[in-house]
Chain A
Amino acid sequence: MEAIDTQSAGGDDEVVAVPIGASTGNPVLRRRTDAGTADPAVIRALKQFFRTGTIPPGTGIAAGLADHVPALLYPYLSHPALRTPWPVVLDETDGTPILRTLTAWFDDLVAAVGDSGDEGELRRRFLARVEEAIRTTDLPDDSNLEEAWWAAVDAVRPGIRSDRRETFEECVRSAASHVSGSARLVGCSSAAPLAIARAHAQGFVAEMARPVVEEIDRLRTSLQNLLDVEQEESADAVVPERLRGSAGGAWSDAFDFDALSHLLDEAPHAAGLPPERRERLQTRTEGLVEHAAALFGKASSVLRPYSIRGAREAVAERTERLLALYRHLEAARLEVAHRYRPELHDTYLDALTPAMLSPEDFRRCPPLFVQADEAALDAAGAGHILELLSGPVPVKVLLVLRGAADDPEEPSSVAALTSIAIGQGRACVVQTALSDVDTLSDGIAEAVRHDGPALVAVHAGAEGTDLPTYFAAAVARDGRAAPSLVFRPGVGRPWADRLSVDGNDAAEADWTRGSVAVTNEDGTVEEVSSAFTWLDYAATCASLSGFFVPVEPGVRDEAMIPADEFLARSATERAGTVPFVLCASSDGWLVQAVPARPLVCAAERALDRWRRLQELAGIGNSFAERAVSEVRARAEAERDEAIASAREAHAAEMDRSISSVAEAIVSNIAASLLDLPAGAPTPARRPAPAATVDQDQAAPDAPAAAEPEPVEEEAGEALALDEAYIETIRCTSCNECTNLNKQLFAYNDEKQAFIKDASAGPYRDLVTAAEKCPVRIIHPGKPLNADEPGLDDLLERAKPFL
C-alpha cells in the first residue's frame, strides 16, 4: 500500500488553483462600523449571560446561534468546486491499493496528458472543467471513478466551443486511458475511514499471510510425502492393479502384472507407519489447512468489522485459532523431523494456553477490525475497548465520532480514551478529523501494520451541523477539539519520537490563526485576523448553539475580548470582561458571539489537553527548553572566549606585520644611504627563505610548461556545430525560411522557427535560408549528404554562418 499522495508529481502542470476570495464572486463579509459605543445595558446583559447562562428580559438580545458560521470559515463555504482532499481515489487494480486525493489524481492526469503551449493550456482547462463537474456532482459515498469521469465529460461537452470540440474529444480520449475501470471514488463521510482501513488491510493481510502460508504448504507437502512413502513401500503398493495403473495406459497390456506383483511381493516390505502416526500426520495436515484458511482465507471475511461486544468473542475465537494453528505447526515441524514423541509432546501441546504465546506468535494473527461510534462508548464500552487495546491480539478499533467532545458539562470520554491508550503504551493510537486525509490515511496505514492493537479515532464532524462534512470535521481539528496525532509505541526512547502532532496547523501554537477579508461600510476592505479556538469550533455544533449570544454587528465595548486573548488571561485579568468569537451571520454580517462560562471551561480543558500533547510530542517541552537555555549559555560563553582569543591572535598578527614592514622601510632607507639598490639585503635583513632560492635556481632547468590539455567543452561544442540549428529565441517570424522549405523549417508554439527535420531538404536550402535570414540566426552545420551537387560552393557560402 502506498502512502497517500496529496502532492502531485505534476510539478508546474498542476491544475492551477485560484485564491479564495479573490475576484471569485463570493459574497463578501460586511462589517458595520457606525454602531458607536455599545448600550451599557447590553454589555451588562452579556456579562450576566456569560456568568449565568441567562439574559435579563428587555435587552433585545437572545441566546442561540441561527445559521451563524465562524467568520474564518465564511469565504470557503460558497465555493461549489473547492479542491478539498475529498473524494479520494482508491485503486486496487494491481493488488496493492493506491490511494490518492482527487486533487493529486487530476494534477497527475494533467501532467500525463499535458502539452506545452496553447494546446497544453487548452487541455489543462478542459480537465479542470471535468474536475469541477465531478466535484459539483452529488456522488454516492463510494462510487466508480470511471463512471463519474464519463458523466462529468458528458456534462462538460455541451459547453465546449464548437471549434474546440475535436481538441476536447482528443484530450478526453488520451486522458481516458489513465482512468482505471476499477478505481473508486470514496467521499468524505463516516464510512470512509473503514473503506480506507480495509484497503490498507487487504494488501497487508496478503503480505503477512504469505510466509505463514508458505510454511504451512511446505509442511503439508512434507507430511504428505511421509504418508506417500509409507504407501509406496507397503504390500498394497504391489497388487497387480496398482502396478498396471502406475505403468499407464499404453503399457497396460505390455507386462504380466500378476507375475510382476508376485515377484515384488517376495521382496521384503518396509515396516510401514504405525497407524497412530499415520493418523497424527493426517490430523496435522487437516488442522493446518483448516486454521490457515480461517485466519487468512477470504480477505473480505477477515476484514469484516465487529462491534465492540462482538469483538470480545472474536478475539477469543481468534486466539483459540491461533493457538490451534500454533499446535499444529509445532507438531508438524517435529513430525517432519521425525522427532515427535507423543508421550512428551502431546502433554506439552495440550497444556499450551494463550498466555504462553509470544508477541512473535501473535504477529501471525491478521488484524481484527472493530468499528464503533459514541453510542457504544458508555463506561462499559470504553472499558471493553481498553481491554482489547491492552491485549496481544492486533485488534484495530476504529471510532468514528460525531461530537462526543462537545458536551461542556462533561470532559470528553473520547479524549480520555485516547489519553489512556497512549498512557498504556501498547497500542498504536491515531486521532484525527475526517478532513485531514494525510493523517487519516498514513495513520490508518500505521495502525493496520502495527504489531499489536491500535485505536483510530476519527472526528467526522459534529452532529446536526449544516456545514458540509468536510468543514464540520476540519473545524474540530483546527479548533483543537480533535487534534491530529499519531502515537507509535516502542519507537525510539524519548516520547517525542513516539508521538507526533505534526499533522496540525500551527502545531507549535495554542491555536491556529487565519484572516478574512471584511468590507467596511465605507467600501474599504480590511483583512481581519483572528485565532480559531475551541470556542469557534463549539459555535458550529448545533447542540451548543444555546450557549452563545450573537451581538449586533458593530457593537463594541472594551469589556469584549477575543476568545484567545480571554483564555490566555489569568482570573484577575479576566474580571469584568467577556470573551467573544467572530461569526458570520447568514446574510453576511460580521457578528460577535459571546459564549457562556461552561463553554469557556470546556475550551480550557481542550487547551490543556492540547498543551499536554504538545509537550509529549516535544513541542515547548519544558525539559528541552531548560536544556536549550543551558546549552545556549554555554555556547555564548564559548563564543565570547573564542572572540577574545581571535582578537588576541589578530593583534599579534598585526604586530608581526607592522614590524616586518618597518624592517623593510628601514632596510630601504639604509640601502639608499649606503647607495645600494633598493631592497638589497642589508646587514639587518634576514636571509631570504631557502625555498625561494631553490626555486629560482631550479627554474632554468625546469621542463617547459606542458601544453594545456585541450578543453573538453570545445570538443562538445565542435560536435554541436555539425548539426544545423536556429537560435530560436531570436527568430523574428519573418517567414523567409519557412517559405523556402516547410518540411525543413517550422514554427514552434510561439511562432518562432526551429529546424524541424534537417534531412527534409538539401544542404542548399539550409545555406540559402541562412543567407536570407534577416537576423542571421540560422546555422546550417555540416551537410548530411556528401554527394550533394555543388557542395564545395555551398560549404564556402555556409562559412560565415557556422
Chain B
Amino acid sequence: MFGLHDTATVDTGGDYYSLQDYQSAVPRWCPGCGDNTILSSVQKLCRDEQLPPEKTVFVSGIGCSSRFPHYMGTYGFHSLHGRALPIAQGVKIRRPDLKVFVNTGDGDCCSIGTAHWIHAIRYNFDMVVMVHDNEVYGMTKMQTSPTTPKGIKTNTTPKGAFLDPLNILQATLGISNVSFVANVVEWIPEVMYQVLQEAYHHKGFSFVRIVQRCPHFLPSIFDPLLQDPNKLLLLTDERGLKPSDDLRKIYKNERPHDPSDLDAARRIADEIDPMPIGVLYRNEDVPVYDEIRRATRVVTHDVRRQALDREFDRFAVDLA
C-alpha cells in the first residue's frame, strides 16, 4: 500500500552486542576441557538472542564447571556447592525481568545439590539449567560422582566405581511438573547450540544435561562416543533438534521424536547405546512458578522499615 512494503522503516536495531561483549576473563580450564565448548556455544546464543548483558545472570555452584560465570561478560553469581538452583530461583522471583542461566556439575547438582535439583524441577522456574556432566568431580581432583560409570577408577574408588550411575535424565523426567529435558554432547557444537536455543525459548525450567569431556582426569572415557558417530542417536523434531545436512552426513543415526510424549521420553532416557541426543521432553503448559507467584506488592527495605515503624509506634510511649 502507498508504495511501501509493510517493512518500511529503517531498522537501526538499537545497541548491538557482539561476541566480545559476552567474553570476560580468560578461561582457566584445562586445555581441551569440554567446558570451553559450552562457553562458546552459550556466548553465541547470547549474541544471537541479543541478550542485554546487564539483564542476564549466570548462577553456579562450586566445581570446575561452576567457574562459568567468571568467563561471561554478564552478571554472575559463583555461589556455594550445590546451591546454584535456590540462588537462581531467588534471583528470578525478585527480578523476573532477568534472563537466568545456571551452570552446575554432576557433583554440584546431583550429589550435594540433589534436594534442590528435585524441587527446582517441580517449581518450574523460567530458567536454563546446564549440567556439565563429566562423570567425575574435576575440581577436587577426581572423585567418583553420582554419574561415574560402574568400574571407573577414581581416587575414592581406586578399584573402580561399585554402582551403576544415576540416570539423571530419567530422574528428572520422573519429577512432577517437569517441563523440558534435553541431552547433548558438548563436542558437536551445532547440536548443543540448537538444543540450548530451544531451552532458552522454552518457558519454564529447561534442564539440559551436557555430556562433557574432562581430558585431565578421564581422558578416554568418551572415546567410543567421540570416534564412532553411530554411538549417538539424533532425536529430531521441529521443536527440538533439526540437524543440518552436513551433520546428517556424519551422524546417520536419527529418529523423529515428538517431545510432547512423556512416555516416549522416559523410554528414550533408558537407552544407553546409542546415546539419545536432542530434546526428550517439552511441555509449555506446566505452570511457571515465577509467573503464578509474581509479587503483587513492592516490598523494598524502605517499605519494610515504615511498616515496622508503624507497628512499633502503636506501642510507643510518648515521653514528651
Contacts and interface: CB of A to CB of B under 8 A. Distances in A.
Q: Report, nearest first, the 6 A-B pairs whose CB atoms are least far apart.
A: A118-B18, A732-B37, A474-B2, A733-B40, A17-B7, A514-B1
A532 interface: yes
A698 B84 CA distance: 82
A762 B48 CA distance: 37
Interface of A: 15-21, 24, 72-73, 76, 79, 81-85, 118-119, 121-122, 124-125, 128-129, 131-132, 135, 161, 435-437, 471, 474-475, 477-478, 505, 512, 514, 532, 729-736, 739, 749-752, 772, 774-776
B34 A732 contact: yes
A734 B8 contact: no
Given A84-B8, A752-B189, A121 B3 contact: no
A110 to B, nearest CB: 11
A157 to B, nearest CB: 14
Given A128-B11, A128-B13, A733-B40, 6 more contacts: A17-B8, A17-B10, A17-B11, A132-B10, A734-B32, A776-B227
A84 B189 contact: no
Given A17-B5, A85-B3, A477-B3, A125 B13 contact: yes
Interface residues of B, number: 42
Contact of B3 (A124, A436, A735, A739): A436
B185 to A, nearest CB: 10
Contacts of A20: 4, 6-9
Nearest to B39: A733
A736 B6 CA distance: 49
Majority DSSP secondary structure for residues of A touching B: mixed
Interface in B162-189: 186-189
Nearest to A160: B15
Given A84-B3, A135-B10, A435-B3, A736 B32 contact: yes
Interface string B190-209: 10000000000000000000
B18 A128 contact: no
A505 B8 contact: no
Most buried by A among B37, B244, B246, B247: B37
Nearest to B215: A774
Interface string B13-47: 10110111000000000011110110110011001
B10 A729 contact: no
A471 B8 CA distance: 14
Given A128-B11, A128-B12, A122 B18 contact: yes
Nearest to B247: A729
A262 to B, nearest CB: 86
A741 B18 CA distance: 25
B10 A73 contact: no
B213 interface: yes
B8 A739 contact: no
B226 interface: yes
A500 to B, nearest CB: 17
Contacts of A730: 187-190, 250
Nearest to B41: A733
18 contacts: A17-B7, A19-B7, A81-B9, A83-B10, A84-B8, A85-B3, A122-B16, A128-B12, A471-B2, A474-B3, A514-B1, A532-B1, A732-B189, A733-B36, A734-B37, A735-B31, A735-B36, A772-B32
A19 B6 contact: yes
Interface in B92-126: none
A15 B36 contact: no
Interface string B266-284: 0000000000000000000
Contact of B11 (A18, A119, A161, A435): A18
A57 to B, nearest CB: 39
A22 to B, nearest CB: 9
A430 B47 CA distance: 50
B10 A81 contact: yes
Given A17-B8, A731-B189, A435 B2 contact: yes
A737 to B, nearest CB: 10
B12 A129 contact: yes
B189 A132 contact: no
A436 B244 CA distance: 43
A432 to B, nearest CB: 10
Most buried by A among B19, B33, B227: B19
Contacts of B15: 161
Most buried by B among A505, A749, A775: A775
Contact of B226 (A84, A471, A751, A775): A775
Contacts of B47: 118
Interface in B215-246: 215, 226-227, 244, 246
A18 B14 CA distance: 12
Contacts of A739: 31
Contacts of A774: 32, 187, 213, 215, 226
A734 B32 CA distance: 5
Contacts of B7: 17-20
A73 B2 CA distance: 8
A775 B187 contact: yes
B54 to A, nearest CB: 13
A474 B2 CA distance: 5
